[in-house]
Amino acid sequence: MTNYPTRRDFLSFLLQASVGTALEFCAQEAQSVPQKKQRTLQLNYQTILGNDPQNDQRIKQQIQEQYKQRNFEQYLTEEGVAMHPNEDYIIPYVKPATIEYTPPQNKPTSPQYYKQSNTTLTVCDKNNVCKTGHPLEYALSKYTLQNDQALGTLAEKITQGYDSLEEKAQALLCFVQTAIHYDKRKANRASVKINGLPYTDPNKDFIRSPHHTLVDRLGDCKDTSILYASLVAQLNINAIYIELITQNTPHVNIGIALDFEENRIPLVPKSLKLDGKIEYNNTIYYIAETTTDKPLFIGRKLVTERGSPIIGIHPILPA
């Protein structure tokens, strides 16, 4: 007796076929949908000579000719470096560079690690409308990124070709100084003074993460210091955060635990006094200023920072 398929068998066959086809179609669609492409940013900056000896010699000669044409030859030292008395912290021999940076796929976020101090702060606007709160005390060390893949790749590219750690640290600083613009709007919005004393408005201040700063290409002293600290951390360079008051305003820069006296980077004149250094836990740290638009030497204080009181020192990585 022949067993013919029943209606139920036929419907079951159609259901299996349709489900299998649908699953196959969905799989093909998933493969055909292009993955979200990571965006790559091009960052322009200035850096020190030394990682390309053949071309750097040509660049040095061109810069010397430019100084002579501008009547700066009276400031040339025996090393051939233009040193104006008021500009001796500016690195005279630099070159333009462009580097690609690929931020993490996830949108950069800026978590806020801070606590409210016990000090009461009253902030009044120009219309005499006042608000009372407590200033923020940021835990800067918690913002530092270590063993970060994107920052590690970026630091490796920036320092490629330089021999010493001192040169690498200076190249990273030049990158931060010239690739990131100072965020005056943020600084002015958050800074207030009461009875002549500087405070930070807790309702208007914030800190960018290193990746957030790179994407925005903007930052104040906290943002750029955290970015620089995170870059040197990729090279395992010992460093500290230095908090000070300059021109009645809170400020942050970085101290680097390398020997810039004994291991001077090329083209730093021997006559240049490195007065920007402090001792902390029996270690000498050379000061790195991150908030400038020109490349500056590590270990050289800005005129506005000379004599400024230091109010806090913290390792760049939490203990």
Per DSSP, what are the bridge partners of residue 98?
44
How many whole angstroms separate alpha carbon 13 and alpha carbon 5?
Answer: 10
Q: How confident is the model at residue 14 (pLDDT cuts 50, 70, 90)?
A: very low
State pTM to two decimals: 0.77
For the ranges 70-74, 103-107, 203-207, the lowest mean pLDDT is seen at 70-74
Q: How confident is the model at residue 25 (pLDDT cuts 50, 70, 90)?
A: very low
User: For position 111, what pLDDT does the model report?
Assistant: 63
Domain boundaries, the chain: 41-315
- Checking if the pLDDT of 222 tops 60, the result is yes
Q: How confident is the model at residue 13 (pLDDT cuts 50, 70, 90)?
A: very low
